[in-house]
Structures are given as C-alpha cells and as structure tokens.
Amino acid sequence: MEILYTSLLGFFLLLVIYLFYNHKSSENANLPPGKTGFPVIGETLEFLYTGWKGHSEKFISDRIAKYSSNVFKTSLFGSLFVVFCGVNGHRFLFSNENKLVRVWFPRSIHKIFLQSTEAFSTEEAINGRKLIQNLIKPVGLQSHIGLMDTFSHWYFVTYWENKDMVLVFPLAKHYTFLLACRLLMSVEDPNLISLLEEPFGVLFKGTFSVPIDLPGTPLNRAMKAASFIQKELLVIVKQRKTDLAKGMASPTQDILSHMLSTSDDNGNFMDEADIANKIFGLLVGSHDNITSVCTSIVKYLAELPEVYQGVYQEQLGIAKSKALGELLNWEDMQKMKYSWNVACEVMRLEPPSPGSFREALTDFAYNGFSIPKGCKIYWHPQSTHSNHEYFPEPQKFDPSRFEGSGPPPYAYVPFGGGPRMCPGKEFARLEILVFMHHLVKRFRWEKLIPGEKTVYTPLANPEKGLPIRLFPHEA
C-alpha cells in the first residue's frame, strides 16, 4: 500500500510539473485575452461551482464583460481552453466540424464510454451517425406518435393520477427512460428496465468527476455501471438478431431492428457490439436531456399562470377534437405551436446542457488570435441565449420570440447547429409535446418550494427534485 501511495504521489508531482510548464509556455502565445488560473486546476472549480449553485452562465458572462464578447481563454480540467461566444463563435465552430475542430470530451467521459475523440471523425462513425439521422427523421417518427400517446396515457394514470403531491424530476426521468426503452428496443419488461435504469443513475454522477479510477470513486462506479449496461444491451441485440432470423421480430418494429436490418452505402452492416454502443448513446441522449426540459417546463408553467393557461387552452382544443379512443397524430403535433414556443423559451432560459467541448485539429486563427492545434474549445448557449442583442429583455419569459422566423441563426442553440445539430431534435420535440399534452389536460399545480434553484450536475435539474401539489381538472 505504501508503494502505491508513493507511486501516485510521484505521478501527481510529474503531472503538476508538466502542466505548470505547459501553462507557462502558453502565456507567450498570441492567445485570446483571459487568465488560466493556477496550474493543474486552472479555473475548473469556479466553472463547476457556478453550475452547482444554479448560475452556470455567470462563469461565461463575467469573463465576457471583463475580456471579450467574442472569445477568451481559460483553463479547465487540466487543459488550456478557449471559449467561443456569440453567434459568430457558434457559426464558426458548427460549420468547421471535422475541418478545424472536432468533438472532445473530458477524460472521465472517455473512460466511462470507452471511446476516444478519434472515433468521432472516422468514416465508420460518420456512417453510423447518418444511419441514426435517417431513422429518426420526421417522416419515420410519425408512426411513433400513437405509441407515445398510448404510453403517456398509461404513465400519467399510473404515476400521477390520484396523487396529492409528486416529485417531478425523478418521475420525468423514469418517463423518458421507459419511453426510450420502448421506442428504441421494444423493451417493456419491468424487471429488465429496472436492471438497466439503476446503473444509469450511477453513470451520470461520474461523467464530470475527478478522473481518478480507484475503487469507490464516482468515476470507478460510473465505469462499472457503463460496462454493465453495455453487456446487457449486447445481450438484447444478439437476441433480436436471432428473432429477426427466425421471423419472430419485424425489421421495422423499432430502431434496434432497423439498425440490424439496414446496411450503409457500401452494403455493410454494423456489428452487434457497435449497435449496442449506438443504442447506449441513444438511451443517454434521449433520456436525461429530455428529462431536464420536461422538468423545467413544469417549473415555468407553475410560475406563470398566464402561460399555463395558453398551453392548456391549446391542448384542450386538440383533446376535444379527437374521437373517443383516437390517438394523437402528426397533424395534432403541428397544431401545438404555442406549446412548442413555450418549450423553446424554457430551453432558452434553462438549456438542458450547459455547453459542449471541441478540440482544434490544426493551428488556425480566429478573431485575430491564434488557436493552436490540440487546444480545447468550449461553447456555452447562454452566451447568446442571455444576450439582449438577440433576445431583448433576456430574463423575461416571452414565447412570442419564436413566432415567425424566430431568432437569428446560431443565436438559439439548445440542439447545437450546422453539421452537429442534434439528430434527435424532432424526436425530442414530439416527446416533449406529448408529455405537455397529457400533463396540462389533467392538472394544474403549484410548486412546494417557490425559490427552488436549477443546478447543473452536469445537466439542468432542480436542486430538490421539484415537488409540486396537484389539482386535477374536473372531468
């Protein structure tokens, strides 16, 4: 044990020395203005702390005010970072994906998901992304609306009705996970869902943890949870492949069957392990982000009765237009214009993710400054979402911002933009709208903790889970 601690101490000292000199050498480069803080930790603690305290935008806005509204430097997670701000910064990053920059993740995330940044720019990964985009285009998703409607009815009857009080965040989390399992893999067995859902709770606690893989650390627990999930998903994939071969499953019944039955442009099929990884990624992407949005919608509708009333009247009109037992359809989704504007304004004020990371593939210049190859880059949606130039009175809740042509391009970016626009945007829109439909036609509600904060750990969630008191509408 003493040898282990001595080795760890030696490694840590070497890391400090390396990062110290790397930190010093960067001071002389033609980098954007800003400070990098202390060696190793840089400004990481302040970056994380502002998110934990419910003010993730403060880290960005303070530095925009002090250094530059376009680009500034900092140091996070042991690396030099340049933060791109504003519409021009978003446009530059999104339009230069896999040209000048590529997706980058902190070391802890690599360890959990067992992928390297190189994988995101390979032809195989690009082909896999194209396949997923094709599977969740609006035309393909239309057939899922009825299933979402049926599922949501069951969910609210089971978990919300006949309750005086509910805790919104965990219930919304369960909702999105159950629905994702059903739509992606046709999994409905409660035992199997429970087996998969529990390790997901462990997974996200380690995503932005200290990258130390020792027994008992958040990272170590998250890595074990990820490994367990991937093994279970591989079992599901193998069984589905067998069922398809025997004619016991349909090639079009869900996204898993589509992946197993669809080849790329060269006639090649994805292997089972790759499909399991893609399903894993889709479960992550269709789970926590939508949970965050649905929870924030409940929060704002409780705080803004006039906005709630607008959503309620729109959804009630759609409900009354349906015959007994008739399910929601694509045309109904298009009628939910005010409801979607409300959801968009919620995501403007509280984007589910506090931003994303990139890495410079080569040396390039931006705004008169040098961005060296290997430099890490960060963009934050609030650099435009809270900017009065693009959104007058940015702290005011105003769904009308999204009427007509809406905000300028690259000003509103909860789903990213350009080539890196989230392929699941339409999936998310449908799921959020169906959730809103079933929620408001059943209840009005009030918050039990009026001043409850939204914190980022790492995604937006209410500090106490958002407890609310329910008041069912009279039949």
Question: Burial, 364: exposed, middle or buried (Cβ in 10 Å; 0-12, 13-18, 19+)?
Answer: middle
DSSP code of residue 210: -
Whether 344 has a binding-site annotation, put simply, is no
CB contact at 8 A, 31 and 368: no
Question: Which single residue is written with the structure tokens 């990481």?
Answer: 44
Residues 6 or more apart whose CB falls under 8 angstroms from that of 166 comprise 159, 160, 467, 468, 470
Q: Work out the number of other CB atoms within 10 angstroms of the CB of residue 237.
A: 24
- What's the CA gap between 392 and 386, in Å, rounded? 9
Q: Work out the number of other CB atoms within 10 angstroms of the CB of residue 62.
A: 13
Q: Work out the number of other CB atoms within 10 angstroms of the CB of residue 231.
A: 10
From residue 278, give the alpha-carbon distance in Å to each of 98, 185, 324, 421, 433: 20, 12, 38, 17, 25
Task: Tell me how far apart the 2 most distant CA atoms of the chain are, in Å.
Answer: 74
Question: Which single residue is written with the structure tokens 């199997």?
Answer: 192
State the binding site for heme. 422
The binding site comprises 422
